[in-house]
């Protein structure tokens, strides 16, 4: 993310984009009054908007990132305009402003854009966005499978079927589940339906992972994926999630800025001599945060290089191996120290995930020569 400084001699076009309408605000050079309009989101309406400007290259456009995606930005760039997609959470707001309309939003965006007070997000390439969407679809499938597992677990618990043979969802646990029998026909039908849904969710996850695996070995993802997979707790698919969500790691000048992007940094309300820090902000990329927290759990045991990790590290540059071992030693040690002091292990995992984000950023910007 970067702050955009707009030249004083260009036309500013700010848009409040929705599913079926776009509210536009135009600021000509040297003019303070904003020209407002409202158009449709169809291709013809957008073409007519562009045709209003004699020289599209002198127009700087912007709109907030949101559910409408990046297609509008790509199309405007293709016809010669400069178009920035703005980070909504970083738009300045007046404390006393309680009126929100599409027209006011577009006007405010135009004035802030000209004043250089807006921060833009990076627009991914179509390939980057496509792989990122596939990774997010896998995350959705995993969530669906987890819900199906919980429903089946709760059904068995209601009827006194409790697994006591170790961890859940191992091969032994799943064999035990499938061996369950019930006397009531309706109960058997219920069990079979829950089991069928779970089987379908397992198949969906397996299918989408099969589609993702080839992308771990293709540019522009393959180099960073192999480097990230050398770290404990990050598989090749996990590395693909990190790579596709960030794409351009050098837009974060420091590790702290990347940590803030993940939403893993603590909130702070300090004034004068009073200092107060609370829970994490959650004001960042949810998908990155989920992957980092999931990876952080693997550091609860002592530092070691197991067979699976050794296989992932095969052929990786020695500098990356040295950095990954340093990260593992620090994070494993810190996990045990924090775990001995904290009552809530989730707090410990969050702290480890935040530090892991720093190591991952350092790996991404490092130059292995």
Average pLDDT over residues 197-208: 97
199 or 285: which leads in pLDDT: 199
- Tell whether 224 and 175 lie within a shared domain: no
Q: Supply the pLDDT for residue 186.
A: 97
- Tell whether 350 and 305 lie within a shared domain: yes
pLDDT at 171 over 80: yes
For 185-194, the pLDDT digits (tens) are 999 999 999 9
Please identify, among 121, 150, 175, the residue that sits at the C-terminal boundary of a domain. Answer: 121
- Share above pLDDT 70 across residues of the chain, in percent, rounded to a whole number: 98
Q: Give the predicted TM-score (pTM) of the model.
A: 0.88
- Tell whether 302 and 203 lie within a shared domain: no
For 300-329, the pLDDT digits (tens) are 999 999 999 999 999 999 999 999 999 999
Q: Supply the pLDDT for residue 280.
A: 80
Please give the Cα distance from 278 to 129 (Å, whole number): 34
Within 8 A by CB and 6+ apart from 30, the residues are: 8
Within 8 A by CB and 6+ apart from 343, the residues are: none
The overall average pLDDT reported for the chain is 93
pLDDT at 96 over 80: no
- Tell whether 250 and 355 lie within a shared domain: yes
Assign 271 a pLDDT band (cuts: 50, 70, 90): low
102 or 188: which leads in pLDDT: 188
Q: Please count the other Cβ atoms lying within 10 Å of the Cβ belonging to residue 247.
A: 18
- Tell whether 176 and 83 lie within a shared domain: no
Q: Supply the pLDDT for residue 45.
A: 95
- Residue length of the chain: 369
Q: Supply the pLDDT for residue 358.
A: 96
Which helix (H) or strand (E) segment holds residue 344: the answer is: none
Please give the Cα distance from 12 to 70 (Å, whole number): 19
Please identify, among 102, 121, 140, the residue that sits at the C-terminal boundary of a domain. Answer: 121
Average pLDDT over residues 285-292: 94
Average pLDDT over residues 349-361: 96
Please give the Cα distance from 127 to 44 (Å, whole number): 26
For 123-133, the pLDDT digits (tens) are 999 999 999 99
Q: Supply the pLDDT for residue 32.
A: 87
CATH code, domain carrying 116: 3.30.420
Please identify, among 121, 136, 159, the residue that sits at the C-terminal boundary of a domain. Answer: 121
- Tell whether 86 and 105 lie within a shared domain: yes
Average pLDDT over residues 23-33: 92
Assign 369 a pLDDT band (cuts: 50, 70, 90): low
- Tell whether 320 and 284 lie within a shared domain: yes
Q: Supply the pLDDT for residue 99.
A: 78
- Tell whether 34 and 70 lie within a shared domain: yes
Q: Supply the pLDDT for residue 235.
A: 96
- Tell whether 309 and 224 lie within a shared domain: yes
Is residue 105 helix, strand or coil? helix
Q: Supply the pLDDT for residue 193.
A: 98
For 44-81, the pLDDT digits (tens) are 999 999 999 999 999 999 999 999 999 999 999 999 99
Q: Which of 43-52, 65-74, 271-280, 281-290 has the lowest average pLDDT?
A: 271-280
> Does residue 237 contact residue 333 with C-beta atoms inside 8 Å?
no
- Tell whether 87 and 199 lie within a shared domain: no
Q: Supply the pLDDT for residue 279.
A: 78
Average pLDDT over residues 9-37: 93
Number of domains the chain is built from: 3
- Tell whether 245 and 355 lie within a shared domain: yes
The domain in which residue 331 lies consists of 219-365
- Tell whether 75 and 151 lie within a shared domain: no
């Amino acid at each position: 993310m970067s702050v955009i400084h707009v030249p004083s001699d260009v036309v500013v076009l700010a848009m409040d984009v929705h599913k079926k309408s776009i509210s536009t605000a135009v600021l000509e050079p040297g003019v303070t009054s904003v020209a407002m309009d409202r158009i449709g989101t169809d291709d013809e309406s957008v073409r007519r908007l562009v045709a209003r400007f004699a020289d599209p290259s002198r127009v700087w456009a912007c709109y907030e990132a949101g559910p409408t995606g990046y297609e509008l930005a790509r199309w405007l760039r293709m016809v010669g305009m400069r178009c920035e997609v703005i980070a909504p959470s970083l738009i300045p707001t007046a404390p006393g402003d309680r009126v929100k309309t599409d027209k006011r939003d577009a006007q405010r965006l135009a004035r802030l854009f000209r004043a250089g007070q807006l921060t833009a997000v990076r627009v991914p390439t179509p390939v980057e966005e496509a792989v990122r969407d596939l990774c997010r679809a896998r995350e959705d499938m995993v969530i669906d499978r987890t819900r199906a597992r919980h429903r089946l677990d709760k059904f068995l618990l209601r009827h006194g079927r409790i697994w006591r043979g170790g961890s859940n969802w191992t091969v032994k646990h799943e064999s035990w589940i499938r061996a369950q029998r019930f006397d009531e026909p309706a109960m058997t039908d219920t069990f079979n339906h829950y089991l069928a849904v779970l089987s379908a969710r397992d198949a969906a996850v397996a299918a989408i992972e099969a589609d993702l695996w080839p992308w771990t070995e293709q540019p522009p993802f393959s180099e960073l994926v192999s480097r990230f997979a050398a770290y404990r707790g990050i598989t090749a698919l996990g590395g693909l999630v990190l790579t596709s969500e960030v794409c351009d790691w050098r837009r974060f000048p420091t590790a702290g800025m990347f940590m803030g992007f993940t939403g893993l940094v603590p909130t702070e309300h300090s004034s004068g001599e009073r200092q107060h820090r609370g829970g994490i902000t959650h004001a960042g990329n949810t998908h990155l945060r989920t992957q980092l927290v999931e990876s952080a759990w693997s550091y609860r045991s002592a530092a070691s290089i197991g067979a699976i990790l050794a296989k992932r590290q095969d052929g990786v540059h020695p500098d990356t191996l040295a950095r990954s071992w340093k990260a593992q030693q620090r994070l494993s040690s810190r996990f045990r120290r924090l775990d001995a002091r904290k009552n809530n292990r989730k707090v410990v995992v969050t702290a480890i995930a935040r530090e892991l984000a720093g190591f991952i950023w350092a790996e991404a910007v490092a130059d292995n020569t």
